[in-house]
Structure 1
Amino acid sequence: MAILNKKLISRRTVVKTSLVGAVFLYLSTSGCKSGEAVSTLDRGLGCRFLDHKAEDLFYYLSDSLLFNFLPKDKKEKEKVLGEVLQGIDSYLYSLPSHTQKEILEAIQFLNLSAVRWYLFGSSSNWELTNRDTVIKTLNQWKISSISLIRSIYFLLQSMVTIGFFETTYSWKHVGYPGPGHALGLRHG
């Protein structure tokens, strides 16, 4: 009986999450497309899951979230971010198809011009987004009272983290010598 007296979730939270979820689903599945090309840059990465618009989304999110870890040299930075995108693509490609569809809906939603303008301050191009605005928006999502918004934040953040730290190319930029330094050590 004590369990029945405890509120596990408030009605207000259910209503807020339901409304945000309904809007999100409507916009991402109602045929809304992100309009003009998000970027003119073809990185030639050969991604199997991410299209060019999704590549741009993760490229600029990665650039914003990883700016402390990225090299200052532009060509080296492009190479690292290309490796991050390929890591993200590889991970997403391996997921079940129903999960892939949900992720594609989230990407389509974030690529809508009106959504991009409202959240990140630029409706026409990811390149024009301000790093501080992206970080501020994502930090607000991390502590949002709406679980759907928090879920989108953790999806984006985990994809960038997985893409960066899984590739051996980025290890040197964070000072990790690789697993070879531990060879010969006995555990236990």
Structure 2
Amino acid sequence: MATTTRRDLLKVGLFGSAALAGAGLLGSLSGCSAERAASGFEMLRDSDLPMLRRLIPVVLEGAKPISDTAHVVGTLASLDQGLAHLPPALSKQVQQLFDLLSLSLTRGPLTGIWGGWEQAKDSEIQAFLQRWENSSLALLRQGCASLQQMILMAWYGRAESWQHCGYPGPPAI
């Protein structure tokens, strides 16, 4: 088992800082970060929606047949509601992650999805998630975990998911 040296940690930290700063700069230059919330949402922006609409069914694969558009829309609404309750600093980090995944300049090299999210195949999205999950860069592993946890929390917070996993719902008071 290889040990991580201080130099390796500094390299990862420097790379991660540069990647986030670059994404933030690119996002601000393209107007992505200043973008307002999409119609019907508090936090999610129009630029976030294509990515999330493709990620949700792939992340939830096996949890429930999620091909139904209503389930994806409901999960987006729950995700938006959860993001609206985040502290500002954490909300900004989530927006930076979404910017990184939405901008074509950064999406291709970091995810392997060179076209738009709408054209991405499930296998390409699974490969991207697996690559990030097993990356040697802690920043990519954290990004993958954050994406998956946000989507899973949004789905399992919805009443229609409870029956599928055997949860009877909260007790009546």
Using the size of structure 1 for normalisation, the TM-score is: 0.75
- Larger Rg over CA atoms: 1
Runs of 4+ more than 4 Å apart: none
Alpha-carbon contact 1:168-1:178 (below 8 Å) kept: no
Other-structure match for 2:118: 127
* Structure 1 spans left out of the alignment, 5+ residues: 1-6, 36-42, 184-188
**More relative contact order, 1 or 2 (CA 8 Å, 6+ apart):** 1
Q: CA deviation at 1:93?
A: 0.6
Other-structure match for 1:171: 162
Paired with 2:18 and 2:107, the residues of 1 have a C-alpha distance of: 18
* Structure 2 spans left out of the alignment, 5+ residues: 33-37
Q: How does 1:1-188 map to 2 (within 5 A)?
A: 9-30=5-26, 31-33=28-30, 46-71=40-65, 77-118=68-109, 119-123=111-115, 125-172=116-163, 174-176=164-166, 178-179=168-169
When residues 65 and 100 of structure 1 are mapped into structure 2, their CA distance, relative to the original with a 3 A threshold, is: same
* 1:18 partner letter: L
Deviations 1:126-160 (A, max 9, x none): 11011111111111211222111111111101011
Task: Report the aligned-residue RMSD.
Answer: 2.6
Deviations 1:90-112 (A, max 9, x none): 11110111111111111111101
Q: 1:162 is paired with a residue of what secondary structure?
A: helix
Question: Which range moved further: 129-138 or 19-28?
Answer: 19-28
Other-structure match for 2:35: none
* 2:8 partner letter: R
Q: 1:68 is paired with a residue of what secondary structure?
A: coil
